[in-house]
Amino acid sequence: MTNTKSIEWPPELIALDLETTGLEPARCGILEIGACHLFTGAARAWLVDPGTVAYEAEALRVNGLTPAALRAPRHTPGAALTELMEWVRALDIPGDGRALLVGRNPGFEWAFLAAAAGRELMSWDLSFFVNTFHRRKLDTHSAAMALAMARGWPVAGGKIDDLYRLLEVAPEERPHTAAGGAAHVVAGLEAIMRELQRGAGGKEGGRR
């Protein structure tokens, strides 16, 4: 594998974003999965039929999915998770081959993936799924907050779009999609890394 980016990304980093039917993994399901391998730039997305789960109006408002869109051909959750695992395995990540999830809120994505895997995968597949992903995660929201505090930038409220604006990253387009969300995660992490690479500029080197 060859890293063609200006930043030397570790090969285990996978930017991940989900669109879901709500905020509770035990009750709600996954509608879309978007993933991007930072080292190679390879990206994939899956449309998912969540089955008989709870739907929350606010979640559908954010992702803009209509009843008609939900009737489009979609993967079953089990098939989508299996293809995600196969895609990660095909990346041939060195060492133990485990991916490290990167996201604005990767704990949310992990909770939904784990809940869906628990419902949909057989015991061997579930074990493989858990072993495919580290429990360690890289949270770009927290990274942006820490960077802003180090630079002396305003962080009141700590909203991710406000922090990204300081890094000259445009807000994610609406309606949200998982593929667009994964790409936005990459853009945010690239901006954080560029700012870190500015060196010892400190407060004087930051944007206001």
Each residue's pLDDT expressed in tens, for the chain with a length of 208 residues: 445 457 889 999 999 999 999 999 999 999 999 999 999 999 999 999 888 888 888 887 777 776 667 767 789 999 999 999 999 999 999 988 889 999 999 999 999 998 898 888 877 677 777 778 877 899 999 999 999 999 898 887 788 888 999 899 998 888 889 999 999 999 999 999 999 988 645 444 445 4
DSSP assignment letter at 53: -
What is residue 46's predicted lDDT score, i.e. its pLDDT? 96
What is residue 120's predicted lDDT score, i.e. its pLDDT? 86
Q: Is 171 helix (H, G, I), strand (E, B) or coil?
A: coil
Distance CA 81, CA 110 (A): 12
Q: Of 37, 158, 145, 34, nearest to 92 (Cα)?
A: 37
Q: Does the predicted TM-score (pTM) go above 0.85?
A: yes
Distance CA 76, CA 65 (A): 17
Q: Which domains does the chain have, with CATH numbers?
A: 13-205 (3.30.420.10)
Chain mean position to CA 18: 7
Residue 104's CB: how many other CB atoms inside 10 A? 24
What is residue 88's predicted lDDT score, i.e. its pLDDT? 92
What is residue 203's predicted lDDT score, i.e. its pLDDT? 45
| Residue that is written with structure tokens 């939900």 in the block | 70
Q: Is 103 helix (H, G, I), strand (E, B) or coil?
A: strand
8 A C-beta contact, residue 136 and residue 96: no
Q: Are strands 99-103 and 133-139 parallel, antiparallel or unpaired?
A: parallel
8 A C-beta contact, residue 87 and residue 35: yes
